[in-house]
Structure 1
Amino acid sequence: MDIVFLVGRVLLAAIFLLSAIGHFTQADGMAQYAEAKGVPAAKAGVIGSGVIALLAAISLIFGIWTDVGALLLVVFLIPVSLMMHAFWKVEEPQAKQGEQINFNKNLALIGAALILFYVVNQGQDIPAGLTDPLFGRW
């Protein structure tokens, strides 16, 4: 069953790794989009959120302080969801639906990250992890 946990961690991390790459390789375009959504200091926000996503992905993929990586996902997803996918501000029905789908997806990812945080802090070895959790069992 260890392989299932590892595959799940890698799959969860994959979207954030790809997102981080996009944040760095398409920073100008993403900053313009974020600015249009009303994000203050959009370029810094794009780069900063890219760093958070990258650190989270590396943590989950390699099992380095997996609990910290899970919390970094939450730190990444909450402001992104509220600022970039504010469907309640959108008038056009199709655009509103797209934003709501992305917002709901992010809620599910926040839930997955919180479950991962909980599971890795239960005092068991993390399957295929390089380190123990930073916070340990509470």
Structure 2
Amino acid sequence: MDVLVLIGRLLFIGLFVASATAHLTKTQQMAGYTASRGVPMPVVATVVSGVVMLAGAVSVAVGLWADLGVLALAAFCFSAAVLMHAFWKESDPQARMMEQTQFFKDIGLGGAALVMFAFFAYAGHDLGLMVTGPALSIS
């Protein structure tokens, strides 16, 4: 089971690593989109979100307080869904559909991160292939 959990962790973080890389290497382009969505201090928000995603992904990948890593990823997903993909504000049907898809992708990933948090916090001490056990515990 340890290998299966590791494979799942690595598959889960793939999108976050790719997105974090874009946020941190294409900051100006990403910040332009962020600004278009009305987020204040778009460059700072882009860099901070990239760091949060990267730190959360590394935490989950290596199993270093993975429960805190997935909580960071969940926080990112839920805030990105609301701030960046407010499909209900779109008047163009095609833009609305695209933003709705991105909104529900972020909500779904955030939900998966919450499930992983519960899993790590409950069973984290019994999982192999982790650097540490969970920082938080659920009984």
TM-score, normalised relative to structure 1: 0.95
Residue 50 (structure 1) shift = 0.4
Give the equivalent residue in structure 2 for 1:106. 106
Q: How does 1:1-138 map to 2 (within 5 A)?
A: 1-123=1-123, 124-138=125-139
Deviation sequence 1:19-62 (CA, Å, 0-9, x none): 11000111001111110110100000000000100000000110
- Equivalent pair of 1:63/1:126 in contact (CA under 8 Å): no
- Equivalent pair of 2:118/2:138 in contact (CA under 8 Å): no
The SS at the match of 1:121 is helix
The SS at the match of 1:131 is coil
Identity rate, percent: 38
**Aligned residue pairs: how many?**
138
The alignment yields a C-alpha RMSD, in angstroms, of 1.1
Q: Where in structure 1 do 4 or more consecutive aligned residues deviate above 6 Å?
A: none
Structure 1, gaps ≥5 residues long: none
**Distance across 2 between alignment mates of 1:8 and 1:57:** 12
**Distance across 1 between alignment mates of 2:103 and 2:128:** 30
What letter matches 1:100 in structure 2?
Answer: Q
Deviation sequence 1:114-133 (CA, Å, 0-9, x none): 00000111144223111000
